[in-house]
């Protein structure tokens, strides 16, 4: 009775676990582009595919792995399982994927699209279609960010502006955050493909037809092995991701340089205002200093000077003349201490004795002044 009770408890627990197993909404596409839709539990799906439960866990945002002659791919929201005969898209009910899944993917797999692998086995077309979708999404994000960032920087980098629009800075901050996320996604994409390119065995495992139909696999219209064609395919999309990363990096450098220009413009206007304030302060000090004479003569004290009508003009002239002279002296003192010092004179003997150092310094100056030029131009200069 104890064994019967233990067996019944085990069956009940297994039934309970099977009932709570997640259900995948599956979209199945075959070689001819025919599409079928169905729902299946995770336990039933990985058993039919000859996989294990952890293979359909999709832990990473991007991954490409092979298990039991199956390719398991994850591209952000896209979860796919590729076999030599069909492609499974799991959890396809996503608003971001509907247009591509229903309008483009089936025709691409059937060889009607613009894929360069239309003459190769089915897994080549499926991998290229998914990689092309991911690259197009990254390219679209960059194309959306680039004009917004350039427009915002053009509005901010203006030497005539005495202040910075906070709304523009807020937009630039949001775009900078989106650009950082794009750079991270591009980095993950490149690292995932590079891990496969560094291992020859992984590249061969992606060629599923090698294990199912070796005769079809050995045939090649270009005269090279299909494993090499898989490597060329991955290298192509790695290079496209590298180009996008370079464009994103240039935008990042442009943002950093523009921030420096903005700070320089603000510091320049701030220095002008501080200089004007200092000049007005010195003028006020000069007038106040010689204004003591007028204060002295304005007291209710009798003397013989107030009877002479010329004393008023004489004292007033001395006050303004003295104030002007002191103000001029203070301005000249301020100018001498605010002007940058002249560079030290280098004797001609030192210039002739150090030609190599001069060339190195000239090259560094050219690099600093010609930001954005090509290497060939710098070498010619």
| 32-48 pLDDT, tens digit each | 888 898 888 888 888 88
Q: Is 204 helix (H, G, I), strand (E, B) or coil?
A: helix
Question: Is there a domain that residue 208 lies in?
Answer: yes
Query: Helix (H, G, I), strand (E, B), or coil: what is residue 80?
Result: strand
pLDDT of residue 225: 77
Asked if residue 349 is part of any domain, the answer here is no
Q: CATH number of the domain at 196, please.
A: 1.20.58.340
For 340, the token pair is 């940058």
Which two tokens mark 344?
A: 């030290």
DSSP helix/strand/coil, 21: coil
Quick check: 53 and 68 in contact, CB under 8 A? no
- Residue 319, domain member (yes or no): no
Q: Which stretches of the chain score pLDDT less than 70?
A: 1-20, 94-95, 113-114, 158-164, 211-224, 294, 296-306, 334-381
Q: How many angstroms separate the CA atoms of 90 and 25, rounded?
A: 6
- In this structure, is residue 227 part of a structural domain? yes
Residue 11 lies inside a defined structural domain of this protein: no
pLDDT of residue 234: 93
Assess if residue 16 is contained within a domain: no
Give the per-residue pLDDT at 10. Answer: 53
| β-sheet bridge partners, residue 39 | 25
Q: Per residue in 325-372, pLDDT tens?
A: 877 777 777 666 555 555 555 454 434 444 444 444 434 443 444 334
Rounded distance between C-alpha atoms, residue 182 and residue 174, angstroms: 12
Which domain range does residue 114 map to? 23-266
What stretches of the chain show up as alpha helix (H) in DSSP?
Answer: 2-19, 42-48, 98-100, 106-109, 122-156, 166-197, 200-206, 209-212, 214-218, 226-297, 310-338, 348-353, 355-369, 375-380
Secondary structure class of 377 (helix, strand, coil)? helix
Domain assignment of residue 65, yes or no: yes
Q: Please tell me the total count of domains within the chain.
A: 1
**pLDDT the model gives residue 147:** 92
Q: How far apart are CA 68 and CA 51, in angstroms?
A: 7
């Amino acid at each position: 009775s104890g064994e019967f009770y233990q067996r019944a408890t085990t069956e009940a627990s297994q039934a309970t676990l099977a009932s709570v197993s997640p259900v995948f909404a599956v979209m199945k596409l075959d070689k001819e582009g025919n599409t079928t839709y169905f729902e299946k539990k995770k336990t039933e799906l990985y058993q039919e595919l000859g996989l294990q439960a952890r293979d359909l866990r999709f832990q990473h945002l991007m991954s490409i792995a092979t298990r039991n002659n199956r390719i398991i791919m994850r591209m952000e929201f896209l979860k796919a399982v590729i076999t030599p005969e069909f492609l499974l898209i799991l959890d396809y009910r996503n608003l971001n994927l509907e247009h591509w899944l229903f309008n483009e993917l089936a025709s691409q797999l059937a060889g009607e699209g613009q894929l360069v692998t239309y003459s190769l086995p089915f897994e080549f077309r499926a991998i290229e279609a998914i990689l092309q979708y991911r690259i197009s999404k990254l390219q679209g994000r960059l194309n959306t960010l680039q004009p917004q960032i350039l427009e915002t920087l053009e509005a901010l980098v203006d030497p005539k502006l005495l202040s910075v629009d906070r709304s523009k800075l807020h937009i630039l901050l949001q775009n900078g955050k989106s650009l950082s996320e794009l750079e991270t996604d591009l980095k993950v994409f490149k690292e995932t493909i590079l891990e496969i390119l560094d291992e020859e065995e992984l590249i061969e495992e992606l060629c599923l037809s090698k294990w199912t139909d070796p005769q079809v696999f050995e045939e090649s219209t270009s005269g090279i092995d299909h494993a090499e064609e898989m490597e060329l395919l991955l290298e192509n999309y790695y290079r496209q991701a590298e180009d996008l990363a370079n464009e994103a990096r240039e935008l990042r450098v442009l943002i950093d340089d523009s921030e420096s220009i903005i700070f320089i413009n603000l510091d320049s206007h701030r220095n002008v205002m501080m200089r004007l304030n200092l000049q007005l302060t010195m003028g006020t000090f000069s007038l106040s200093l010689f204004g003591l004479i007028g204060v002295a003569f304005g007291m209710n004290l009798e003397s013989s000077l107030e009877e002479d009508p010329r004393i008023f003009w004489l004292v007033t002239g001395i006050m303004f003349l003295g104030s002007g002279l002191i103000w001029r002296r203070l301005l000249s003192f301020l100018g001498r201490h605010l002007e940058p010092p002249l560079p030290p004179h280098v004797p001609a003997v030192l210039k002739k004795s150090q030609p190599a150092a001069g060339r190195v310094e000239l090259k560094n100056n050219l690099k600093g002044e010609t930001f954005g030029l090509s290497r060939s131009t710098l070498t010619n200069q």
